[in-house]
Structure 1
């Protein structure tokens, strides 16, 4: 299926004057690791990026997958006219219900989501800390309103511990942030639980995803916290949907649908099941497609890394004192 055919799926939903740019042409303008990965639909300040349609996958599954793919594309084109912000399909949420959630700020501006592991450690995405300079960031916890930051706890960073094998394809996309001062736990600030190493999911599993991210690429973030439930998506189906446009390894997992998924700038936030962080939002709909599944780092694959680094950093602190 070519880009020209994609226009015909729901042409009535595309704002008049919308420009369609093929992936090759766009890649010449796009800098960074995502160059050439996506095509783009844009209308001035709003941008929706479309990967190419999946190729041959076998006679038995072709019709089913093609139908699923068209559903996702329709969701994307529907979203071109959407002006809401926050987690896609999300509803306003209270921080007391998601007290493990924190936000990461860079140079005084909201940057990413994060989850609280202990009084001194916060978990986020490696993408969120390209600048490995703790003085450029701070963590905000205990408030659903990042516009006023009312009632929140602000903590500077002492250290950024990003996985040594993190790369721009999203592999090993995990990072620990050590806070310079301890969080004060209360009804609005608490730690999320880590999963068991053998945790498994089924098609009937739904996760909580929360954040302040935008529903459109480079759009306004949500000043208030949003939350939605997202379904588990089999990794093989997820790989077929992205068709090589994004890496989906065994250390990753997918969740979401065309109506409910993470938004732009929700990166680093937690994918949660029963107060247990099972995923870290890594690739948000191929960097912007509002109707695609969210690719997450599978936390259970990094339990040793998390625990070893938290113990090591804590031990070093004890030795200094």
Structure 2
């Protein structure tokens, strides 16, 4: 039993969650520019419109050829690519690596018409592994079933709106979002029954949830000094993105550890064909 618990706590790959450039971890309320490449597992998911690609969602590099994003970011028939090593979208910085998406595996229980049911995840297989360096690195995933304590300091990252209905930034943003435990987040005057136990809430005071992207990571520092992606951004209040008692809601990655490892297992192409592709 002890051996099983220990093995389940291991990340998918060693050498994860340790950025060469440490993130800025100040308590900035309304978000800030991230330190360039301090979240090296953050990717830009881009969709093809005509002959050009446009940023549509965030995502996380969790294995050399696998990116984790939200199910609601994926639409049947659309063509996607992944940009890694990105920071400032307004210019070429020389750190970017572009990869085509070879296969898309949406969680089989995801339903766009029932967002509050959860399972808002998709895995993207890249055509080839990126080169790992100071700008591109793997995220750690938490052990199966891990629940973070109320008030744990985590950081959302992405190229989301700077404020409600505001402009999209060029540079990667981050914002501090403390975890809100399920017993609080599911109160009737908070999110109520819309929040399931497979989700994790963070924020909900005057901290901005705008700065993240759909599909992007909730980054939380582990006790061992590594960063773990504990959530995938799923939904926020439709009125304003920093509404009191309406924290940002994420798909809790520790609730899907088995599915994630199953799909991303090396040489598992036959298995992924049996899941729901888009």
Alpha-carbon offset, residue 220 of structure 1: 2.3
| TM-score (ref. length: structure 2) | 0.75
Structure 2 counterpart SS, 1:253: strand
User: Is the aligned partner of 1:138 residue 2:81?
Assistant: yes
In structure 2, the CA distance between the partners of 1:102 and 1:229, relative to structure 1 (3 Å rule), is: same
- Quote the Cα distance in structure 2 between the aligned partners of 1:149 and 1:161: 30
Using the TM superposition, give the Cα deviation of residue 194 of structure 1 relative to its aligned residue in structure 2, in angstroms: 0.9
Q: TM-score, normalised by structure 1?
A: 0.65
DSSP-derived class of the 1:236 partner: helix
Deviation at 1:182, TM superposition (A): 1.5
**What is the CA distance between 1:154 and its match in structure 2?**
1.1
In 2: Cα distance, 1:262 partner to 1:219 partner: 12
Q: Against the structure 1 CA distance between its residues 243 and 283, is the aligned structure 2 distance closer, same or farther, given a 3 Å change threshold?
A: closer
Question: Which residue does 2:141 correspond to in 1?
Answer: 194
Distance 1:115 1:243 in 2: 26
Taking a change above 3 Å as real, the CA distance of residues 230 and 298 of structure 1, as seen in their structure-2 partners, is same
Q: Secondary structure at the match of 1:300?
A: helix
Say if 2:109 is the partner of 1:157.
no
1:95·1:142 contact (CA, 8 Å) conserved in 2? no
Distance in 2 (CA, whole Å) between partners of 1:260 and 1:272 is 15
Alignment of 1:1-321 (within 5 A): 89-107=30-48, 108-129=53-74, 131-133=75-77, 136-151=79-94, 152-168=96-112, 169-170=114-115, 171-216=118-163, 219-240=166-187, 241-244=189-192, 247-263=194-210, 266-274=213-221, 275-286=227-238, 288-291=240-243, 292-311=246-265, 314-316=267-269
Change (3 A) 1:156 1:88: farther
Q: Rg: which structure is higher? A: 1
Give yes or no for contact 2:157–2:211 (8 Å, CA) kept in 1. no
**Other-structure match for 1:15:** none
RMSD: 2.2
> How far is 1:149 from its partner?
4.2
After superposition, the Cα gap between the structure-2 partners of 1:228 and 1:289, relative to the gap in structure 1 and judged at 3 Å, is: closer
State the 1:278 CA deviation.
Answer: 0.7
Distance 1:167 1:217, change over 3 A: farther
Deviations 1:126-181, CA, capped at 9 Å, x for gaps: 0100x234x61111110211222422111111111100110233210011011112
Contact map agreement 1:132 1:160 (CA 8 A) in 2: no
For residue 94 of structure 1, report the CA deviation from its aligned partner.
2.3
Q: How many residues are treated as equivalent by the alignment?
A: 227
Name segments (4+ residues, structure 1) moved above 6 Å: none
Q: Does the CA-based 8 Å contact 1:112-1:269 persist in structure 2?
A: yes
For residue 316 of structure 1, report the CA deviation from its aligned partner: 3.0
Q: Distance in 1 between matches of 2:93 and 2:240?
A: 30
Counterpart Cα distance in 1 of 2:67 and 2:242: 27
Runs of 5+ consecutive residues of structure 2 not aligned to the other structure: 1-27, 222-226, 271-278
- The answer on whether the counterparts of 1:270 and 1:281 sit within 8 Å (CA) in structure 2 is yes
